[in-house]
Structure 1
Amino acid sequence: MAVSVRRSIQLAAALALASGMSAVQAAPAKQSSTPDIPIPNVPYTKFTLKNGLTVLVHEDHKTPVVAVNTWYHVGSKNEKVGKTGFAHLFEHLMFSGSDNFKKATYINAMEGIGATDLNGTTNQDRTNYFQNVPTSMLDYALFAESDRMGHLLGTVDQKKLDLQRGVVQNEKRQGENQPYGVAYELLVNNTYPAGHPYSWTVIGKMEDLDAASMTDVQDWFKKNYGPNNTVLVLSGDITPEVARQKVEQYYGHIPPGPPLAKHQEWIAKRTGTHRTTVQDRVPQARIYRTWNTPGANTPEEAQLDLAGLVLGGGKTSRLYKRLVYKDQLATSANASADGSEIGGQFDLTLTARPGADVARMERIADEELQALMKNGPTEAELRLAKTTILARYTRMVERVGGFGGKSDLLASCQTYTGNPDCYKIYLQRIKDATPASVKKAMNTWLADGDFVLQVDPYPTALVAGKPGIDRSKEPMLGKPMSLKLPELQRTTLSNGMKVVLAERHDAPVVNFQLLLDSGYASDAADKPGVASLAMRMLEEGTKTRKSLEIGEEFAGLGAQFGAGSNLDSSFVYMNTLKATLPQALGVYSDLVLNPAFPQNEFERLQKDRLAAIAREKTVPQLMALRVLPGLLYGKEHIYSRPFTGTGTEESVKRMTREDLAKYHATWFKPNNATLMIVGDTTLAEIKPLLEKSFAGWKAGEVPKKVLSNVAPIDKSVVYLVDRPGALQSVIVGAQLAPPKNSPDSLQLDIVNDVFGGTFSSRINMNLREDKHWSYGVNSQLYAAIGQRPFVSMSPVQTDKTSEAMKELVTEYRNIAGGKPITADELKSALDNNTLGLPGSFETAGQLTTAYTNIVQYGLPDDYYNTFTGKALAMTPQSANALAARSYSPDRLVWVVVGDMSKIEAGVRALNVGEVRKIDADGNPVK
């Protein structure tokens, strides 16, 4: 459950042990390299029930999964001043069960039937609910969705309203607690006139949420959530005939809501320049510059989207080349057009390098904007931008549901335009655009009327009818669906590199992932961060290609590239279109084999890395994940580096480009590598191309990483990290677990789902749903070849820090035997894992991730095919025995990040263990 906004203003950070891929997209240098990418087609059948419900059905039978995507045409713009936040609040309330679907929460029930891509979001214009469910569970999902549409208000009482109001308010605090979190409200308040439907935030004002009454929310629901204001898309393993029968059965009796007035276009074009400056606890200044423009599904949308890509849409954009690459005044410089239903905005977001001249950065960005407006984009720049957008839409056809999937595309078009094919109009406008048309749109809409927000670092740093079914009884549940993953085919190249292929021919894309046995654990003790920075620099130049040229070639081919590391391995990733595979493979292999690590690029990225570390030390969750490894494993262990992979400021300052070149020469050997390929190719087709592309790569000796076992600590220790002014505290509990390939690993993951691994887990239901002290808490077993980090992460409101930590201590003791796992809890976790398994292998990227896990952690090839049988063999007795020997409630490492002036005394009074104060680098504080 989340607020969906069109503007990305908060720091996006990959948590902990993610592979940290960095995307590269840009434009072709030569017209001949630009592929003719066709506009994708998502066929559908459309029908409308008598009550006004519009239904779209798309068939895709590659996996036994159906996406159920429901769009209510109501968002924050339908609210009134003084009653803001209702759309998002009601999105939460609709997850709380209904008259005949009497579940603690909707998400709990959906997890229990194996739903994936499961959530709901609200933006200015719509509220959507989506889930991919096994085909055998479709009746259950439709029963639940239709019941909350037609039979909700009988269960919405004051207790539920107060609970979800508290959850939403914690979501608001959590967003505002992030770096630059102050910006969004200032932006919407200052770019739209008072009373404009976009002049308040989607999440609303705290005082409006406090004032929401039962009468208010009931009236809101009756007005906006009828079938005549709704689009339902069923996409996947279903036929139109079956869909019509089921939708009539479950939705046909629901009466329509009242006639609704709809907002028309209201662009609110501004004149002059308005400027605001605000301070925040951030390490880098940031400039936001915004113009009001036409919105989505207008002729101008395509022109301004292209302008955004040329100006600030990637590594070869003008702002990147000038501010990040050449002058090195910024660590990021982006531009984008954000289209909403009745209006849009064009945004520049410039993040200054620490110590840089912010005014000069802003002035140069304006110079680049004015130059583009004066002359328009070049033909090459425009080809790049067009290819990027067309390739993005081509990849959408892999996924039936979720954000950006086919059901989302159809629902959006139908909701906003009444034409499910509207994306084709947009893409044709993209294809037809010229430098002159882009120039005209920019001069019409960006020549005047901008708002500039400067965020500076804070000085201290831190129709009524009878139901077609008996709603007193839920539908019978289906059974786990058989899993038929593509077979793993293996071969070895003449140089010793292992190749693993899984064919999938439903979309014209091919995924490559080179897996190298290195990772953060290969870093020298005094040089943490080398592995991740070396991987980041792979895209910064080879012996024959310069940094910006690489991005141009990949984007011109419609390909995406990334490189990164986790604890144990490093990865080189490419996703390319089938049509451009040979050319893309040539560029890919050059980056793997011949990185130059240019000194000038190293110096630039070294500064960027130092800025990134400074940012990490302001984000509460990342602060904890930086200090946790050394506390958990001990300073000498090879897993003791920060889980973000970025290293330390001291190590990065001492690093040289020779360190990176040495890393590549040491670990990049074909006999230390496996190339995973998933997609639209065959072994007979791809192997000759690989032999040619990697012919010059020679085998050699590779160092051995020594993984030592760490003994558990004798008793719990609490580490406190101060973050003055924090609106929330982050409480981390951690211990060590056996490796990913240990005999009980699969079963322990399921036990963890009971504890904290799913929405319906014990700790989330306690701190979010019962106490509503948090927007959401979780626990996770991160994968590792050695002992795994077993971590719970609990952001809670500041004034409930000690109470929340007390609850967590109790929950740890309960899972270890104080409150045994019940048969119902285990069944819920097993259902979620086994029934949801087919939904985890829809795209080439998902398959690549799964098969990479098999290779990286030494799992059997049939790991996923045998998963269900092994999981269902668990019993409450075996689950509790495993929990008792796996959880160490009195031998945990606790890390609490928050405002110590408000929380330290309360945490100490709990007497959980010895309390030690440390700084953001993990060093003791007296």
Structure 2
Amino acid sequence: MTFFNTKPLLASAAMALALTACQAAENKSDTGVTNTESIANMDLPAGVTLIETVQGSDSGEVVIPYSKFRLDNGLTVVLHQDKSDPLVHVDVTYHVGSGREEPGRSGFAHFFEHMQFQGSENVADEEHFKIITEAGGTLNGTTNSDRTNYFETVPSNQLEKMLWLEADRMGFFLDAVTQEKFEVQRETVKNERGQSYDNRPYGLLWERVGEALYPEGHPYSWSTIGYLEDLDRADLNDLKKFFMNWYGPNNAVITIGGDFNTVQTLEWVKTYFGTIPAGPEHDAPVYEEITLDADRYISLEDNVQLPLLYMAWPTVHANHPDEAPLDVLANIMGQGQTSLLYKNLQKPGLAVQASAGHSCREISCSFTMLALANPGRVQKLSDLESTIRESLVEFEGRGVLDDDLTRVKASIVSGLIYGLESVSGKVSQLAAYETFRDNPNGIGDDIARYEGVTKEDVTRVYDKYIKNNPAVIMSIVPKGKPEMIANADTWQRYERTIPDFSGEAEQTWSRPEDPEGLDRSIVPASGPNPTIKVPDTYTFSVGDDIEVLGARNTEVPTTTISLRIKAGQSHETLDKLGLASLTAGLMSEATTERTAEELSNELDKLGSSVSFSAGDTFTTMRIRTLTENLDDTIAIAMEKLLKPKFDPEDFARDKANQIQNIKAGKKEASQTASNLFNIMMYGTDNPTAYSNDGTEASVEAITLEDVKAFYAAHYSPKIASVIAVSDLDKTAMEKALSPLSDWKGPDVASSEIKDFPQLDTGTLYFVDKPNAAQSEIRVGKRALPYDATGEYYRSGLMNYPLGGAFNSRINLNLREDKGYTYGARSFFNGDEKSGWFRASAGVRADSTAASIVEFAKEIQLYQQSGITEDELKFTKSAIGQRDARAYETPSQKLGFLSRMATYDLKPSYIDEQADILANMTKSEIDELAAKHLQLGEMIMVVVGDKAEVYDDVVALGYKVVEIDADGNPIK
């Protein structure tokens, strides 16, 4: 789904956005390029052809300015200049995903994404992550059914190095592939499947639905990660064939956004990519209409708490004329508090969650409805199915309202503008439009097609694709409760037909022939370090001494506000744990003036959001809006803040949902391990040792009067503060926030922390999770409270090479060398009063004991021997340069202001941290490691399948105490 809006809304919002885009385009590089004519007259490198240039204008057109070029080998290059921050974002998108795989060879595209990070001819093993991290950058890759992309955001002086890296893996990958790398990454993918699919509640939902929805052999009938038996069957030659077939420059788009010189960038692209030979040409994928002859019921017993019902109807394909009205229909049926599913399922308490969507991929879309049942109210999923089908009938009688179109279209245009708050967001849009439409300028087309959606269109697509049409209906129920499924299965998984791949012809790799003088083994030097400046800030007070800390962000016409009340779980009593979260949840329900549905409708029509949440220390009201709608949004926020209704029905529903979420959380091994680690650290006498949701017993004991009392006693301006980021200046923000002057409230006593328990150091606490494919491991101890420039900050620097970076010792050992895990890390975390050190990972079940050994080995070695000089250099470079991308978006600026407000910091603390980093010595790091990483002072928490792993864990020699998911010893 992309972007649209009504004409009245579009006029002002698009104007603001277009002007912003123009301003970005007019930030001249030293080429002086600002318009189509001057770009067309540039002296382009030989072999680089300008295809088109699109600039912003003040005509009301929404556009991301760009220039599109093509190399002789078919590589498409899209450039977007934005000099507002000293960074660049590079995206290389290949038009290949799991939908281009063959039956019996599933998972290749995703597996290849992993392999592409394992080095190439001129980039050593593990060096890709190290080079980018050391440059102060961040990176990743993603695969879906239709494309694979690799991307990095780095300081602007690192652009040439990024292009060298990406070109080396595009043109010089195959000679560096080894059987050992192949085997390690195969294990890593297996761990990812275990963590994200097999060992995660509901993790097999989309795989099973895809099998039932599409005919055998259809490219969407398997999941992106594929089947393990296909990966086990694959060999190194299969991988190489897949690479040669799909990863040529003519099947790729490189999109670059940020602060760069256009001519110089094109010269670098030509130098590093220009000699890579084109790969095979491929026809566009063909859309085939998907039809079902009857409803297909399927079911699965899983380790879940909440039964799930999922319904899927096949519809059209991405960019089909009917995609837009189907998106609108999905919003009406099941998105937000104005939807029919919310009204009929969530509001009466039948479902903890209910939603509808229209998921579109290149050659097929599906209209879906999902409901997580409240098992206290629903005994069979057939009851939910009946209510969903009745909601569809209700839509037939209700029809499409004017507010439906206004609301849905407003949410799309606001989403568009929010998406342009970062260079990466703009680059992602340009890359996707070019890959799937051959036209980066797709935003205007999307706005036009969604703007044209009528009530009749929505009714027509409902009649055509949904009404009386068969669907796939999947039930996922708790193990041992098959009676809860919606209907007996009417469709069975088939035995897949695996083709005979023997006798396939070998493909020949054409090695690029570089011009004399180009030595790809030499890492390009970095350019001059960019100038980094923290955001300018301002302060003022409003109302009852509410301090406001703000920063201006003129790049987009948006405003983000966080009103923070210094009261949360720390102010709860042990018998009423979860009270702060339950109170915050009710603040998003009805007020004394309007229903929750009416408030939601008004916010959606503004393209705004107002939400409440509660943590250990703060309750927060967060506001996000287009600035032109700020006053109206603040009026709604104030109504929510000052006039909550605390309706008994809302309370009963939210309380029941919170209890069900607590029960569901116990099914998540990762959440269970982290929760129990916190309890062991801080003891059962401190409220903040527990999950913010509380316990089943404590939430059950909470009454509506408790909620009202917590609100009356703690929601006070006397302990409130505001942080804000907006394109408005200080004067305008003072006016916008003036309604806070109406807020009155009592003094609030600060919370107290009870003494922490004596850790039973050296103890391993074990929790049984039967049939778990993976085990969750936590190793750690209490440590330091937060300090921006003291020992806490320095200890974080110390930990960076141990477990703070992708290429840290812990991750390289457990993931890259051993293949035990999808990822492992360690870190220090602290707040005003306490802190801890923790190392963690989810590991393959059969490697549980071995992983514990490796964790202990790495921590002990680092504690005893300290950092190496190379690691110290790496840490200084990586952390020292990453601030170039630290203050780009409103969210990043808000995080910076939040730290300042919480810990009473001045902006200069950033400079102090830079000085500490620059002067950090090996001896200081070693002293900190020796002090804070003594394994004998730590405890361990392991959640896994006792039948499979317990004996091996006990054999390690630790004191083992078996506990349940609440932390109670099992005798």
TM-score, normalised to structure 2, is: 0.89
Question: Which of 822, 832, 835 is the matching residue for 1:788?
Answer: 835
Corresponding position of 1:409: 429
2:345 to 323, 326, 341: 323
1:117-159 superposed Cα distances (whole Å, 9 cap, x missing partner): x210111111000111100111111110111001111110101
Unmatched 5+ stretches in structure 1: 1-5, 7-26
Residue of 680, 692, 704 corresponding to 2:750:
704
Per the TM alignment, residue 205 of structure 1 is displaced from its structure 2 partner at its CA by 1.0
Distance 2:195 2:418 in 1: 32
The reply to whether residue 886 of structure 1 matches residue 932 of structure 2 is yes
Q: Displacement of 1:625 after TM fit?
A: 2.1
Partner deviation per Cα, 1:396-423 (whole Å, 9 max, x = no partner): 111111xxx1111111110011011223
| Maintained 8 Å contact 1:568/1:785 | no
Q: Does 1:371 align with 2:394?
A: yes
* Superposed counterparts of 1:116-195, under 5 Å: 116=138, 118-175=139-196, 176-195=198-217
Q: Secondary structure of the residue that 1:129 maps to in structure 2?
A: strand
Equivalences for residues 505-904 of structure 1 within 5 A: 505-642=554-691, 645-691=692-738, 693-707=739-753, 710=756, 713=759, 715-741=761-787, 743-817=790-864, 819-904=865-950
Q: Which amino acid in structure 2 is aligned with residue 555 of structure 1?
A: D
Map 1:328-347 to 2 at 5 A. 328-347=349-368
Q: CA deviation at 1:686?
A: 1.6
Residue pair 2:354, 2:369 contacting (<8 A) in 1 also = yes
Residues 147-156 or 451-460, more deviating = 451-460
Asked if the contact 1:717–1:893 (Cα under 8 Å) also holds between the matched residues in 2, the reply is yes
Instruction: Write the letter of the residue equivalent to 1:636.
Output: D
Partners of 2:816 and 2:415 lie apart in 1 by 37
SS in 2 for 1:613: helix
Q: For 1:64, which of 83, 86, 93 is the aligned residue?
A: 86
CA displacement, residues 815-838 of structure 1 (integer Å, 9 cap, x when unaligned):
212x32112122223322222222
Helix, strand or coil at the partner of 2:822: coil
- Aligned counterpart, 1:204: 226
Distance in 1 of aligned mates of 2:241 and 2:345: 51
Instruction: After TM superposition, give the deviation of residue 606 of structure 1 in Å.
Output: 0.3
| Contact kept in structure 1, 2:9 and 2:410, CA below 8 Å | no
Distance 1:109 1:370 in 2: 58
After TM superposition, the runs of 4+ consecutive aligned structure 1 residues lying more than 6 A away are: 31-35
Partner letter of residue 73 of structure 1?
A: H
CA distance in 1, matches of 2:405, 2:892: 31
Aligned 8 A contact 1:834 1:867 in 2? no
Any idea what SS the aligned residue of 1:456 has? strand
The percent identity for this pair of structures is 31
Aligned to 1:387: 410
Distance of aligned partners of 1:588 and 1:865 in 2 relative to their CA distance in 1, 3 Å threshold = farther
Match of 2:312 among 287, 290, 304: 290
Match of 1:919 in 2: 964
Flag the 1:875–1:869 CA change in 2: closer, same or farther, 3 A: same
In the TM superposition, residue 866 of structure 1 has moved relative to its aligned partner by 3.9
Q: Distance in 1 between matches of 2:400 and 2:569?
A: 41
Write out per-residue CA displacement over residues 517-557 of structure 1, whole angstroms, 9 at most, x where no aligned residue: 12221211221111122112211122222222221121111
Question: Partner residue of 1:487?
Answer: 536
**2:932 aligned with 1:909, yes or no?**
no
Q: Which has the higher contact order (CA 8 A, sep 6+)?
A: 1
Render the CA deviation track for 1:583-626: whole Å, top value 9, x for unaligned: 11111122222323222111100010011001100001111122
**Structure 1 residue 34 displacement after superposition:** 9.8
Change in CA separation of 1:712 and 1:876 when aligned onto 2, cut-off 3 Å? farther
Cα-to-partner distance string for 1:410-449 (whole Å, 9 max, x where unaligned): 1111001101122321222111111111111222222313
Deviations 1:196-255 (A, max 9, x none): 111111111111101111111111111111100000000111243332122112211111
Change (3 A) 1:551 1:710: same
Amino acid at match of 2:559: V
Matching residue of 1:92: 114
1:655-685 Cα offsets, whole Å, 9 max, x none, are 0122222222222222211100102111111
Show the counterpart of 1:348.
369
**Unmatched segments (≥5 aa) in structure 2:** 15-60, 483-509
Query: Could you say if the C-alpha distance between residues 829 and 563 of structure 1 is closer, same or farther in structure 2, counting changes exceeding 3 Å?
Result: farther
Q: 1:612 to 1:244 in 2, by over 3 A?
A: same
Q: 1:711 to 1:136 in 2, by over 3 A?
A: farther
Provide, for residues 241-276 of structure 1, a one-character-per-residue CA deviation record: whole Å limited to 9, x for no partner.
332122112211111112223322223232321111
Structure with larger Rg: 2
Q: Does 1:434 align with 2:440?
A: no
* 1:502 and 2:546 are equivalent in the alignment: no
Task: Report the AA paired with residue 575 of structure 1.
Answer: R
Once the two structures are overlaid, the 10-residue window that deviates more, 606-615 or 523-532, is 523-532
Compute the displacement of 1:32 (Å). 9.4
Contact 2:866 2:930 in 1 (8 A): no
The one-letter amino acid of 1:717's match is T
Matched-pair contact (CA < 8 Å) for 2:724–2:894:
yes
- Contact 2:683-2:757 at 8 Å conserved across structures: no
User: How far did 1:758 drift?
Assistant: 1.9
**Deviation sequence 1:68-127 (CA, Å, 0-9, x none):** 0110011111111111111111110000111012242422321111113x2101111110
Partner of 1:16: none
Q: Residues 920 and 229 of structure 1: is their aligned pair in 2 closer, same or farther, counting only changes over 3 Å?
A: same
Match of 2:444 in 1: 424
Partner AA of 1:252 in structure 2: G
1:479–1:835 contact (8 Å) kept in structure 2: no
| The one of 83, 89, 97 aligned to 1:75 | 97
The structure-2 alpha-carbon separation of the partners of 1:228 and 1:63, relative to structure 1 and needing over 3 Å to count, comes to same
- CA shift, 1:478, in A, is 4.3
Which has the larger displacement, 310-319 or 748-757?
A: 748-757
When residues 125 and 296 of structure 1 are mapped into structure 2, their CA distance, relative to the original with a 3 A threshold, is: same
Instruction: Note if contact 2:137-2:152 (Cα within 8 Å) is conserved in structure 1.
Output: yes
Contact 1:188 1:199 in 2 (8 A): yes
Structure 1 CA distance for aligned equivalents of residues 472 and 564 of structure 2: 46
Distance 2:405 2:920 in 1: 57
Structure 1 contact 568–784 (Cα < 8 Å) conserved? no
